Structure 1
Amino acid sequence: MALYAIPGQDSLEVRHLVLDYNGTLATDGTLVPGVAERLRELALPPHHLLIHVVTADTMGTVNRQLEGLPCKLSILGPAEQDKAKLKCVQDIGVEWTVAIGNGQNDHLMLAAAALGIAVIGEEGAAVKTILASRVACRDILTALDLLLNPKRLAATLRC
């Protein structure tokens, strides 16, 4: 569990990190350099986050790319992916979850999570998803670094 103190708000207690894969963790099916190291760090003390990756695996590479990383993988079917991602977040507990994504099918999970972060990587980001998030970052490394460096998150969200 990670605890994030946000001035002017209740502290954010996080147990789960839910991530989209293509366009968020990966570009053209390949994990963005630097992501694996950050995921490993977030799974260890003091963060102890349970990491979930939810994806349609459009490029067919997710199993190979995430091999050996501390994350639970869920491959979704082609229909109603936005609702399937939302259900994933609801099942583990929205109040304990940070969700990160970029695609239109990520907007429901970002809106529901205790903290939704939109990333604008090589694929860009759906405007609907940016508007559903509490924070928007230029890329996945910046988003993960917010979680690794709590003062950055506090500076962004303080009232």
Structure 2
Amino acid sequence: MININIPGRSPYNIANIVFDYNGTIAVNGIISKSTREKLSILCNMADVYVLTADTYGSAAKECEGLNLTLKTFPKDNAADYKLKIVNELGKDKTICFGNGYNDIKMFEAASLSVAVLEKEGLCVALLKEATILVKSIEDGINLLLNTNALIATLRG
């Protein structure tokens, strides 16, 4: 569990970290070595979930060896599927990372949400629901590895 106490806000007790796959932790279906290393560290801090329609068919192979839960689903209704997962996990103890239109509903439900602007772009409509915007997945993961940066960004 990751406990974050931000002045001016209620404490966050993050038990679950939910990542969109394509465009968020993977670029063109591939997870970089450095992102993989950071994900491995996070997997020891909280329960990590990767949600994907697996556009490139590479998610299982790319997530192999990481202590996380990979959930694939049909390409239709991706937003509803992601929302259902976040609600089941407990939205008050879940942080979400994403970049796409189908991440909006899970961002609305999650305790904290991080919009990731990677090489595949970012859906502008997602920004309205994001708590934070980062320029890369590594920057986003670093917010959880060094929560002082997260605190500085969200302090009341």
State whether TM-score is above 0.5: yes
Q: How far has the Cα of 1:33 moved from its partner?
A: 3.1
Write out per-residue CA displacement over residues 36-91 of structure 1, whole angstroms, 9 at most, x where no aligned residue: 111111122xxx20000000000000011010001101101121101100101001
* Equivalent residue, structure 2, for 1:143: 140
- Count of equivalent residues: 156
Pick the aligned partner of 1:152 from 132, 144, 149. Answer: 149
Compute the TM-score of the two structures, normalised by the length of structure 1.
0.96
* Equivalent residue, structure 2, for 1:14: 14
- Which amino acid letter does the alignment assign opposite residue 100 of structure 1? F
Kept in 1, the 8 Å contact 2:17–2:96? The answer is yes
Q: 5+ unaligned residues in a row in structure 2: which ranges? A: none
Kept in 1, the 8 Å contact 2:43–2:66? The answer is no
Which stretch of structure 1 is more off in the superposition, 30-39 or 52-61?
A: 30-39
1:74 equivalenced with 2:71 (yes/no):
yes
1:123 equivalenced with 2:120 (yes/no):
yes
- Secondary structure, in 3 states, of the residue corresponding to 2:152? helix
- Secondary structure, in 3 states, of the residue corresponding to 2:33? coil
* Equivalent residue, structure 2, for 1:103: 100
Write out per-residue CA displacement over residues 100-119 of structure 1, whole angstroms, 9 at most, x where no aligned residue: 00010011111210001100
Q: How far has the Cα of 1:131 moved from its partner?
A: 1.4
Moved over 2 A (4+): none
- Root-mean-square deviation (CA, aligned residues, Å) is 0.8
Compute the TM-score of the two structures, normalised by the length of structure 2.
0.97
